[in-house]
Chains A and B, each alone.
Chain A
């Protein structure tokens, strides 16, 4: 029996088919239980794979086609700690989301569970795969399930529109990925990541390699929602049902970044090692994404849309870690990504609870209507602190590692970016918390001032089964547990060493190739790194949380801000806000146009730095 690495993909697919086939006769509680149990088993399996892979990569050749003379005949899963950790994240979020939806979401028969499980299988397969075309297949698998899930809420008109933009823009991204694969295949006659890397390594970064890198990176950046490939995201994430939004915001965008990093380190790091300017190009994308996302986050009043732009902004932050193109940055980025995904998942569930109880998700209309929900307020504040990256959340340690890497790489200004961005996103959430749960901030001119009945039209999910005044444990527990997990990730004993070893293996192209093609599964070079100093990062984290709090309070009570300062800020902020809003006002045509603009710009920058 040799199934373990394939199990987290095979099991959900099998259960999905069974649930759909048995839908007419399967009672709803059984379907619920089966779906949650399957997601839980997937999580545990991925965790086991993570533990095993710490001692050496797990390579699993489907069909038993082990490579001959360094040529891969089949497709393989190549499980390393980074991939397994992300797969675990997907499993955890899916389990939480399905538990949350247990009592809330009235599915159209049990088809919804089938889609969720296929979605999960796609995410996990994508994380574990060691073959470029196989990655593409799983990428499309989770994408197609995601398109269907995003537009699933057919009674909310916006969700269909969001799903259309999501599906078309992301399909264009997938086409670019496939074109990149075709280019690489034409050159090397290989699809296995390790074999691709081996074949390309001795060569120069010639035009084919550059353009293949461009196509793959842009294609995956669409999924990651790196600016300017992010215009589809807000509608798709914010208007999707909560249960789906948890996975969207928590792991899907992150996987776009993971894919770029994975493909870079296994395939392109050989020929492109000498391209000095690549770091600068990637950092430019990171900074733009982080700032645009942060500003847009602050401009939102729709709670889920706020989280959607927080996702964009933190994708930028994480990309900054990857963009340093070294193991230290990768380690920090991966840890940050895991903790941040858990925090955002928890926040999405909290917003779902608010929506469920108050039938609205607009901060202005909800003013002071959340007073009887102190636990929801607590969850929001904790989530905001998690986003700000204060200790003891895992986001803190992840950011500390990235800051350390930034100092080593000679880009200390990144620390400033981290502080600003974390302040922006946590400010938006704290402002909303103050308004909804404490009634702060006067009735805003744009809002309807808390009209009780007016809300149901915009955000409320239809199909609720029950309308208890008190949240059911299956709603609150997932949010609390996700936050707890976000803390645990950062406090786990020896986590820094584990992260550094995992990152060293992730960035070791030759080691990866040896493990996959020759079955030499040795752990990478042991990393003995001096302990990461945490005092300065803690200072920066607290600073950004305080900045966020200050911003939130200033937004809630502008009359308390000294007049001259207020006018000065308004003079700058007004035009910025107007421009940003205007840019994000478009539909499908705009998204695709920006995609092509981004591709042209990225290509031009690459060409400049290679010369």
Chain B
């Protein structure tokens, strides 16, 4: 049990660090989704299934999705801006 806990803790620390060090936001959203999942697993280890369920639905799915959508929008804006410049 202890081994499992330590592994999960270190995985969380590593995944969180990876999220910060991934500088490209699109890749970062995907790493963040993985981080959300790892956190969810950690909360299961903590005997907090309610929290784990929230964390997985929000941290691993909804939030990364919102990030990707926001980025898509920014790219679309950039595209239309470039086209305006070309004219």
A–B contact via C-beta, under 8 angstroms: no
